[in-house]
């Protein structure tokens, strides 16, 4: 019975026109980004002296260079800590430079401890890996991927936000719930269908991005040092960034799908279902961050990429385990709310 | 015979804009197999609210049993005996009729679906056969492959009924099935409903505010007003006026004399003598009255029973019902 419900939901959620629209937008975006990155490549090749910002570039470390960098970052950390002490609550409103420098130092100590000298090594701490002064397939894929994830979020919001709202609007919810199926089962079937459906859509997008990335740009090759929440480090192929980027983006995408799903159920309105996640990302998250509470908000807590070195700004006080706890609470509350609303409220 | 639907003390109250509304207030009735029961009331009387409770879509107070199963306690066992259209026949418009029916069949009770099929038959085949049959029953086989959005309202109503019939229901609930249909469409639905009751012995509850239609379609009518059932009567009982009287008019030579005779012989008090006919209300069979008139030497040229329209009955029952309610308040 559940299988039938799930299969039916998948069928109901897929619309040819939406798939075509998303495919066209994706193709245009990928093309534009490939052209942009290609010209950026030319610019980079012409100039660009190595700067602090590019300390993440692939480098060949030596005992001396690591010591010099350690000294540099320890000094920077001291300054940052002094700033933090002075900033007071402002610390929670701004990018956390203490966390960032601690990350660099921990990574350099990892390199030192494992004597990873004399090999070309990419470090993945903040931002996409850039090897030397050129755009690599991997850096294109992670950067383009972080743009395409927005498209995927929109698609997920449409699918998850309208799956219940449409049934209420069309009145088909009545035909569905007069059947001998549990309302909880219907919620599970719809949620699972929305999640698997959008995950599949994102997988296809990601595969296309990977294909374009490797077709247009050279592979970075070599190894990278990966960090996790400033506390665990490991060395493996640079191409593994792609898996990490896909996984963390997928978690974010699923989270927004859950938000859209709950909003669609609670408001029984498709428009609210669809725009709620977008409002959360673009508006609410920013406003709440301004008050220094970003780390307790779902949009920030769902973005795990920053803890593995490929994400964006990380606000003061952030820590993976805080984010994980906050994320679990939000997802649990939204999911439970969705079930409760469908089970307890009158269907019509 | 056990009732397929028994409703006992059904209540549905809610608050709206600060005021307390008794949408359904202590409603009790039963529907038996093979019986078409009309659920009649003006818009806002509580028909659809009651139907939403009976189909398990809305919470309620009181007791509802479908084929003996309590709807709250044994929801699945109860609703697997149920086929329904609530409010309007809403189906997935961009999918075909066949897809819709197959989908709804696939999430129906498997045991119900297997009724009447050999043991071990493949469920897929049973579903496709049931879909075919349901489409045939409502006469939509030819358009089964078209998207529902291309259907006329009448076709949608019929498809809605096909949807309700998929899993061999013992109770069929149709909320305003004739709404928005042309006379031909209404006739189709009426014939279908009568046929389902007589051939398949399904108990059917049909709601409507179309009085004439109810008269033709139903065996029994429940009249609901302000959330209360104000009358539960057989159609032929309803046709009689208060006290079981019926208005009769007799064409005769001497209406005035006939009026006097009727007053003496039958105690008729309201006989009105016209130019060539006398009309009066009587609780005696019309044949007996006619015979007595002829035996008394009146020339009778014609006898007609005035049809009491359901509308009159309806107004009467509603008003007496309201009067009763007012009485309760005082």
CATH of the domain at B185: 3.40.50.300
Residue B144 belongs to some domain of the structure: no
Interface test with B, best of A4, A13, A15, A180 (most B CBs within 10 A): A180
* Same-domain status, B173 and B300: no
**Rounded Cα distance, A73 and A197, in Å:** 45
**CB within 8 Å: A347 and B91:** no
Residue B74 belongs to some domain of the structure: yes
Q: Is the CB of residue A4 less than 8 Å away from at least one CB of chain B? A: yes
Phi, psi of B270 (to 5 degrees): -115, 25
Given a contact cutoff of 8 angstroms between Cβ atoms, the answer to whether A39 and A137 are in contact is: no
User: What are A317's two structure tokens?
Assistant: 């006080």
* Same-domain status, B299 and B183: no
Tell me the CA distances in angstroms from B10 to A180, B20, B26, B227, B235, one per residue in order: 22, 17, 5, 10, 24
**Rounded Cα distance, A109 and A227, in Å:** 12
**Rounded Cα distance, A12 and B250, in Å:** 65
pLDDT value at position B304? 86
Dihedral sign computed on CA atoms, order B48, B50, B56, B58: positive
* Same-domain status, B226 and B177: yes
Residues in A closer than 8 angstroms to B94, CB to CB, are: 15
Q: Is B45 exposed, middle or buried (0-12, 13-18, 19+ CB in 10 A)?
A: buried
pLDDT value at position A54? 42
Asked whether residue A133 carries a pLDDT value surpassing 60, the answer given is no
**Rounded Cα distance, B12 and B227, in Å:** 9
Given a contact cutoff of 8 angstroms between Cβ atoms, the answer to whether A199 and A254 are in contact is: yes
Quote the minimal CA–CA distance from B203 to chain A in Å. Answer: 17
Asked whether residue B324 carries a pLDDT value surpassing 70, the answer given is no
* Same-domain status, B272 and B235: no
Name the residue with tokens 């406003």. Answer: A287
DSSP class of residue B307 equals P
Q: Report which of A261, A256, A249, A237 is spatially closest to residue A205, judged by C-alpha positions.
A: A249
* Same-domain status, B77 and B180: yes
Residues in A closer than 8 angstroms to B166, CB to CB, are: none
* Same-domain status, B19 and B66: yes
Query: Which residue, of B209, B239, B269, is where some domain finishes?
Result: B239
* Same-domain status, B175 and B276: no
**Rounded Cα distance, B80 and B69, in Å:** 10
Residue B138 belongs to some domain of the structure: no
DSSP class of residue B108 equals S
HSE value, Cβ hemisphere, 13 Å, CA-based, for B270: 10
Beta strands A223-228 and A232-237: pairing type? antiparallel
Given a contact cutoff of 8 angstroms between Cβ atoms, the answer to whether B34 and B66 are in contact is: no
Classify the complex by whether its ipTM is higher than 0.85, answering yes or no: no
- pTM value is 0.85
Q: B30 or A222: whose pLDDT is higher?
A: B30
Q: Which range has the worst mean pLDDT, A53-57, A239-243, B92-96? A: A53-57
Asked whether residue B3 carries a pLDDT value surpassing 80, the answer given is yes
Phi, psi of B223 (to 5 degrees): -105, 125
pLDDT value at position B198? 94
All residues at 6 or more sequence positions from B94 whose CB lies less than 8 Å from its CB, including other chains: A15, B147, B148, B149
Ramachandran quadrant class, A157 (left: phi over 0; alpha: psi -120 to 50; beta: rest): alpha
Asked whether residue A196 carries a pLDDT value surpassing 60, the answer given is yes
Q: Shortest CB distance from B90 goes to which of A5, A170, A180?
A: A170
Beta strands B203-208 and B246-252: pairing type? unpaired
Q: A61 or A282: whose pLDDT is higher?
A: A61
* Same-domain status, B48 and B174: yes
Residue B61 belongs to some domain of the structure: yes
B273: CATH: 3.30.70.100
Query: pLDDT tens digits, residue range A8-35?
Result: 999 999 888 888 998 999 999 999 988 8
Interface test with B, best of A19, A179, A184 (most B CBs within 10 A): A179
Residues in A closer than 8 angstroms to B79, CB to CB, are: 178-180
**CB within 8 Å: B76 and A177:** no
User: Which chain A residue lies closest to B14 (C-alpha atoms)?
Assistant: A346
Q: What is the mean pLDDT of residues B170-180?
A: 90
3-state helix, strand, coil in chain B (%, to 5): 40, 25, 30
**CB within 8 Å: A174 and B86:** yes
Q: Is the CB of residue A5 less than 8 Å away from at least one CB of chain B? A: yes
Residues in A closer than 8 angstroms to B91, CB to CB, are: 172, 175
pLDDT band of A167, cuts 50, 70, 90: very high
* Same-domain status, B199 and B265: no
Q: Is the CB of residue A3 less than 8 Å away from at least one CB of chain B? A: no
Asked whether residue A239 carries a pLDDT value surpassing 70, the answer given is yes
pLDDT band of A246, cuts 50, 70, 90: very high
Residue B186 belongs to some domain of the structure: yes
Residues in B closer than 8 angstroms to A176, CB to CB, are: 107
**CB within 8 Å: B55 and A176:** no
Residue B226 belongs to some domain of the structure: yes
- Choose from A313-322, B25-34, B253-262 the range with maximum mean pLDDT: B25-34
Output the 3-class SS for A41-78: HHHHHHCCCCCHHHHHCCEECCHHHHHHHHHHHHHHHH
Residue B185 belongs to some domain of the structure: yes
Q: Is the CB of residue A185 less than 8 Å away from at least one CB of chain B? A: no
How many domains does chain B divide into? 2
Q: Which range has the worst mean pLDDT, A112-126, A213-227, A231-245? A: A112-126
Quote the minimal CA–CA distance from B88 to chain A in Å. Answer: 8
All residues at 6 or more sequence positions from B273 whose CB lies less than 8 Å from its CB, including other chains: B255, B256, B258, B259
**CB within 8 Å: A180 and B75:** yes
User: What are A218's two structure tokens?
Assistant: 């050279």
Torsion (CA) B140, B145, B150, B156 in degrees, nearest 10: 40
* Same-domain status, B250 and B229: no
Range of the domain at B294: 242-305
Residue B145 belongs to some domain of the structure: no
End-to-end CA distance of chain A: 24
For chains A and B, what is the number of CB pairs under 8 angstroms? Answer: 69
* Same-domain status, B291 and B271: yes
Asked whether residue A45 carries a pLDDT value surpassing 90, the answer given is no
* Same-domain status, B179 and B234: yes
**Mean pLDDT computed over every residue of chain B:** 88
Q: B64 or B279: whose pLDDT is higher?
A: B64
């Amino acid at each position: 019975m559940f299988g039938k419900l799930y299969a039916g939901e998948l069928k109901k959620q897929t619309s040819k026109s939406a798939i075509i629209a998303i495919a066209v937008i994706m193709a245009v975006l990928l093309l534009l980004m490939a052209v942009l990155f290609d010209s950026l490549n030319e610019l980079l090749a012409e100039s660009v002296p190595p700067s602090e910002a590019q300390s993440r570039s692939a480098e060949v470390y030596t005992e001396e260079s690591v010591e010099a960098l350690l000294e540099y970052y320890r000094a920077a950390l001291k300054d940052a800590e002094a700033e933090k002490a002075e900033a007071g609550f402002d610390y929670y409103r701004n990018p956390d430079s203490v966390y960032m420098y601690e990350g660099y130092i921990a990574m350099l100590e990892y390199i030192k401890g494992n004597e990873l000298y004399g090999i070309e090594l990419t470090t993945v701490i903040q931002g996409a890996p850039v090897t030397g002064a050129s755009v690599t397939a991997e850096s294109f894929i992670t950067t383009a991927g972080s743009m395409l994830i927005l498209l995927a979020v929109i698609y997920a919001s449409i699918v998850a936000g309208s799956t219940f709202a449409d049934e209420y609007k069309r009145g088909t919810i009545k035909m569905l719930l007069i059947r001998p199926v549990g309302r909880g089962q219907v919620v599970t079937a719809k949620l699972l269908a929305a999640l698997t459906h959008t995950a599949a859509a994102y997988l296809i997008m990601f595969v296309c991005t990977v294909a374009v990335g490797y077709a247009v740009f050279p592979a970075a090759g070599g190894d990278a040092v990966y960090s996790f929440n400033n506390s665990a480090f490991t060395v493996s192929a640079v191409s593994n960034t792609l898996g990490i980027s896909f996984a963390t983006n997928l978690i974010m995408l699923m989270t927004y799908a859950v938000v859209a799903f709950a909003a669609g159920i609670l408001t029984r309105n498709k428009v609210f279902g669809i725009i709620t996640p977008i409002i959360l990302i673009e508006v609410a998250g920013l406003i709440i961050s301004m008050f220094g509470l970003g780390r307790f908000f779902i949009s920030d807590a769902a973005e795990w990429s920053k803890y593995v070195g490929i994400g964006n700004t990380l606000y003061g006080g952030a820590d993976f385990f805080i984010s994980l706890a906050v994320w679990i609470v939000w997802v649990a509350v939204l999911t439970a709310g969705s079930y409760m609303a469908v089970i307890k409220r009158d269907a019509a | 015979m056990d009732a397929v639907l028994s409703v006992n003390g059904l209540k549905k109250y809610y608050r709206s804009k600060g005021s307390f509304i008794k949408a359904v207030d202590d409603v009790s009735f039963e529907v038996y197999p093979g019986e078409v029961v009309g659920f009649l009331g003006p818009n806002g009387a509580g028909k659809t609210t009651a139907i939403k409770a009976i189909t398990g879509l809305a919470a309620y107070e009181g007791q509802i049993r479908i084929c003996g199963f309590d709807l709250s306690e044994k929801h699945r066992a109860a609703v697997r005996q149920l086929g329904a259209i609530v409010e309007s026949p809403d189906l997935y418009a961009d999918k075909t009729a066949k897809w819709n029916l197959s989908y709804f069949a696939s999430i129906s009770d498997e045991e119900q679906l297997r009724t009447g099929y050999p043991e071990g038959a493949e469920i897929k085949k049973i579903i496709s056969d049931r879909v075919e049959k349901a489409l045939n029953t409502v006469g939509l086989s030819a358009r089964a492959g078209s998207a529902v959005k291309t259907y006329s309202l009448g076709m949608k109503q019929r498809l809605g009924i096909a949807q309700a019939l998929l899993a061999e229901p013992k109770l069929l609930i149709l909320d305003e099935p004739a709404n928005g249909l042309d006379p031909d469409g209404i006739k189709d639905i009426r014939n279908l409903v009568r046929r389902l009751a007589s051939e398949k012995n399904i108990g059917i509850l049909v709601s409507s505010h179309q009085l004439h239609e109810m008269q033709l379609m139903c065996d029994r009518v429940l009249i609901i007003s302000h959330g209360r059932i104000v009358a539960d009567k057989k159609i032929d009982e309803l046709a009689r006026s208060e006290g079981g009287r019926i208005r009769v008019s007799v064409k005769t030579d001497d209406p005035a004399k006939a009026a006097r005779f009727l007053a003496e012989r039958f105690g008729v008090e309201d006989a009105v003598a016209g130019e060539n006919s006398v009309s009066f209300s009587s609780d005696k069979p019309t044949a007996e009255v006619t015979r007595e008139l002829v035996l008394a030497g009146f020339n009778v040229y014609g006898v007609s029973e005035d049809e009491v329209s359901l509308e009159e009955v309806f107004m009467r029952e509603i008003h007496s019902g309201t009067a009763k309610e007012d009485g309760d308040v005082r």
